[in-house]
Structure 1
Amino acid sequence: MSETVLLIGGGGREHAIARALADSDCTLYAAAGNRNPGIARLADGFETLDATNPQAVTTYANEVDASLAIVGPEAPLEAGVADALDEAGVYAFGPREEQARIETDKGFQRRFMDRHDIPGCPDFAEFTDSEAACEYIDEYDGDLAVKPAGLTGGKGVRVIGDQVTAAEAKEYIRDSEYDRIVLEERLVGEEFTVQALVANGDRRVTPAVQDHKRAYEGDKGPNTGGMGSYSDAELELPFMDREDYLEAVDILEATVDALEGYKGVLYGQFMLTADGVKVVEFNARFGDPEAMNTLPVMETDLLDVLVAARDDESLPQLSFAEQATVCKYAVPDGYPTDPESGAKVQISPENAGDARLFYASVDEREDGIYTTTSRSFAVVGVADSISDAEAIATEALERAGTDGLRVRWDIGKPELVQSRIDHMTELRGE
């Protein structure tokens, strides 16, 4: 029996999910606050609605007679959209609001890890009083990461000793309107992510990916939602070994066990340090851009995972092509601090060459597609090596042109990848 799947969300991550389902035995509908032209071309229907409104989402799900739903972004999860869909009889592959707190509430996340003795938890303290937080910074022996407890789209963290001084961090806390601040020991090493598909007590893990949050080449500038990412043909990345990867998987498994009944994607952002793997944070959905690295090389049908999850069956084992990927985001000039919208996007599926094109936040008009103030689109190269995948992504961007756009061209370049290897070698004293 063919399934009817409702995809919630309209960004690059959701375009990758839609692409992964495009050849499956399903009818695909999508719902988001913004119309994504890439998703719209793959779906049988695209409804523009407030994806954080549980009633609006469930009404549309019933209109299209959805048998399954998959929730892409974090904001609908925080709003209880998965809860509402489940209660309306539409199985949602995504955690309920309470379990999604593993992402949406960083204070809860750290307390949860501490309470359940989950490995990799750094020193932390949570504050509702800004002056108390500033005093903690003065008294702490070492550098700290300053994190708003709630969702900030990946842009709220300030790291002392890297992005800001202690004085600037205190000014940031005092000037902010955040209700709660979490202060954590600064982790030094190389970041990577591992995503797990979870349901019915099963967890199926994906290859490691390294995201690049900083806005400018050489890891300079403010944090963003992610400027791009890469994965290798192996499960691990060049700066780590299989034991490091498995240590991260063990942390994910311990977290899933403690969450009891979790379903959806659990994304672990880790820091490989001289003392092993530490947890930077957890997310309760596919990463963006990491989904665009993982899904193009996943040979297992994503629909089979969704159906098994709904039917309370064992999840299929995941199979991945032994290929590397490099994802590069194109963002509007001035992003993220003062983005300029309205540039015409020249790239299309027809002129992307061998690269995969995933639209993120764009404005489709009668005469073409234009940028908004958020990340515009991503191109992904897939090849036998990271360097070959990077060349495919770069060639697509160069051919199409990037007027009015900015790209971190260094992502996936041999020099940057080697710098990660050298950094870990130095930290480990090898």
Structure 2
Amino acid sequence: MKITGIETFLVAPRWLFLKVNTDEGISGWGEPVVEGRAETVRAAVHEMAELVVGQDPLRIEDHWQTLRRGGFYRGGPVLSSALAGFDHALWDIAGKVHGVPVHELLGGPVRDRVRVYSWVGGDRPSGIFDAVSAQVEAGFTAVKMNVAGPLAPIASPAEANAALVRAREAREALGPERDLAIDFHGRVSPAMARRLVKMLEEVQPMFVEEPVLPETQGGALASVVSASTVPVAVGERLYSRWEFKPVLDAGVAVVQPDPSHAGGISELRRIAALAEVYGASLAPHCPLGPISLAASMQVAFATPNFLIQEQSLGMHYHQGTEALSYLTDSALFRFTDGYAARPTGPGLGIEVDEEAVRRADEVGHHWRSPVWRLDDGGLAEW
């Protein structure tokens, strides 16, 4: 079997899909994208294709090594995300060739169902109780919310207290038997993060996510970890196991590599194994499309130290276009009581609606990250 070519599809709301074709008629799908830089990643994917076209698609590890190390300059969000898309697609092909879901090729399942959580915004001043209550009604046992909107390096007591009030509302709606995760989104300075995590202890978050920017992690991250008893999670803007080692050394409890950014299924597995050495859990970051989520869930079923899976159904970023819009078979994403059942279909376990994808690509998208400003006009982290 040989890879004969690739195609990429720019689809709303902010995704990029990759199709890898073979001479035996078996195709694999991947999702290589950096939110807001989809066109840039698309160019990188087509450059990388020169290294795999004409090759055996089942040599997954060799392709992973070649795509990462075959260029003198490597890593970073764009190249790692392009690599991730190929990795998804090659595992998808391998599963279809052998007639089994990918997690069977990763050593087999270690659980029968995977816990997932849902999103409720959180950076706006009202509506948290109702939003969380709706997710409880939908059967979810965990939700995640943003800690706040734009924040100054040292926020006022009113802003800090408002974040706590929203977290209290979420906890009230969830009750003590469900979980709350709080995403700082890198919006908070290390000093303010230390203050906020201490304040948030009373709502007992499952974790606080990305309390400081990835470029300031080092000692700043360790200081946040030690400031309270709240578990700290990081990783959506880290792209390899080498970048995860320092944050594990800093004491984080949860790693959050993104299957579309951190080198795909192959690298997520290695990052999870590294985290296991530190007693840390895996909770993959995944606010993207159906291919990325399917790839992530295959890893979840085969990973002993998996904690919980992010998913984007109903997410506020995706109004008007849902992940299920591009599938003919969405059984993998039918959640019951906040869990996804183990997939049995071959490959990634989904059926992509290629006609819908091609129609969407004719329109494309131009999604960009919002640019936020503070009251004084200075740039704020989004």
TM-score, length of structure 2 as denominator length: 0.30
